[in-house]
Amino acid sequence: MSELSFEQMLEESFKTIRNGEVVEGTVIDVKPDEAILNIGYKADGILSKNEYTNESNLDLTTVMNVGDKMDVKVLKVNDGEGQVLLTYKRLLAEKGNKRLEEAFESQEVLTAKVAQVLNGGLSVVVDEARVFIPASLVSDMYEKDLSKYADQEIEFVISEFNPRRRRVIGNRKQLLMADRAEKQKELLSKIAEGDKVDGIIKNVTDFGAFVDLGGADGLLHISEMSWGRVESPKKVFKAGDSINVLIKEINDNKIALSLKFDGENPWLRAEENYAVGNIVEGKIARMTDFGAFVELEPGVDALLHVSQISREHVEKPSDILSIGQIVTAKVVDFNGEDKKISLSMKALEPELEETEEMYVEDFVDGEYVDEMVEEYIEDEFVEEYIEDDMAEEFVEEEIDA
């Protein structure tokens, strides 16, 4: 048997490695973007920063020291220059995928830091294995801007695991909903209709606001925001506002809220404030062809009929009144049971001439139509006007003349 040369013996003393093999290495040199490892092979292994981590700003000298031992995976035995390329993050990713698979099967709750905020959701990393959390599964409510989650640690479960298609889906919404259901159950056991509770405005819509009561959401409908009229909830509230509300109704898990506290009901003092004969001031809130509605105070509206706007003929309220206009009028009728108040501006105008007033009143009462009209036209016209129900219009025209 021939003797082996020194070079042959030295080469045979080194182990054989293959691409994809996991080996143990010892750090013999480390720089900010590269580390050299002795892996028991004839060539040392090169571990670049890109194959150590996904964090682009990491300095390897802050996480590795000469003499450290670590498991690495062989990417390429010979990179063309006789060097062995190693990876650490891919080994971790494989271990991470195994960890995610186990978490998926057991529905374990995982905690990880948000690595990226993407257009469609969040990306988190578990042992170098990436998990995507779609925007629809980030929260139990719609969130347009996910930037607040950047660099935050969040909890989630794996709802879909398919590493071959690189589809590993996380679900944070599931945990939030389960937690909310538990808190909701606890809250509903403590509250009752008629209670006053504190909450935080969670979301404002055109029809109302959702209020977080500390375990369950309640709806504050626009009609319950004030005894008066609210044009737009978004002009009154914004997300994050603190609010004290009344529990109006509880129907299963639905909670209806109100800001109409009974002690503040303006109709409790309306009979005194708006008694028949009182002179009041209010703001024109809305108009129809038959009259205008006057807001006397938030929650108390009164009708100013078109016939009570002026002693002169008014075709429609909008001819002489406008929305927002302040008017003074006299209360001519009050019905507290039906919450109806009637006003008259005409009653505050100077009285007409005695004869003219008598004719108008007598005509409206229907008592002296023939006698009055005879002063202006012949009898045959009187009958025609009466039959055609045009007598009142005729008399008004004649009086104006």
* CA separation for the pair 254, 184 (Å, rounded): 10
CA distance 253 to 216: 8
Residue 243 near residue 199, CB atoms below 8 Å = yes
- Residue at 76 is within a domain: yes
Confirm whether 283 is domain-assigned.
yes
Whether residue 241 sits in one domain with residue 305: no
Kindly report whether the global pTM for this prediction surpasses the value 0.85: no
CB 37 within 8 A of CB 67: no
Q: What is the pLDDT of residues 248-303, one digit of tens each?
A: 999 888 899 999 888 888 998 899 999 999 999 999 999 999 999 999 998 899 99
Q: Does 144 reside within a domain?
A: yes
Residues 167 and 201 in one domain: no
> Could you tell me if residue 185 is inside a domain?
no
C-alpha neighbours within 13 Å on the C-beta side of residue 209: 28
What is the DSSP secondary structure assignment for residue 67, as one 8-state letter? T
219 found inside a domain: yes
Residue ranges for the chain with pLDDT beneath 50: 1-2, 9-10, 353-373, 375-388, 398-399, 401
> Are 360 and 395 a contacting pair, CB within 8 Å?
yes
Q: What are the DSSP calls for 99-136, one per residue?
A: HHHHHHHHT--EEEEEEEEETTEEEEEETTEEEEEEGG
Give the pLDDT of residue 183. Answer: 87
pLDDT of residue 14: 56
Do 302 and 336 lie in one domain? The reply is yes
Task: Give yes or no for a contact between 205 and 257, defined as CB atoms under 8 angstroms apart.
Answer: no
334 and 282 part of one domain: yes
Residues 237 and 212 in one domain: yes
CB 153 within 8 A of CB 113: yes
Expressed as residue numbers, the domain containing 78 is: 6-87
C-alpha span between 129 and 168 (Å, rounded): 9
pLDDT tens profile 329-357 = 999 999 988 999 999 999 998 865 444 44
- Say if 183 falls within a structural domain: no
Q: Is 91 left (phi over 0), alpha (psi -120 to 50) or beta?
A: alpha
For residue 15, the model assigns a pLDDT of 63
Please check whether residues 390 and 336 belong to one and the same domain. no
**DSSP element (H, E) containing 113:** strand 110-118
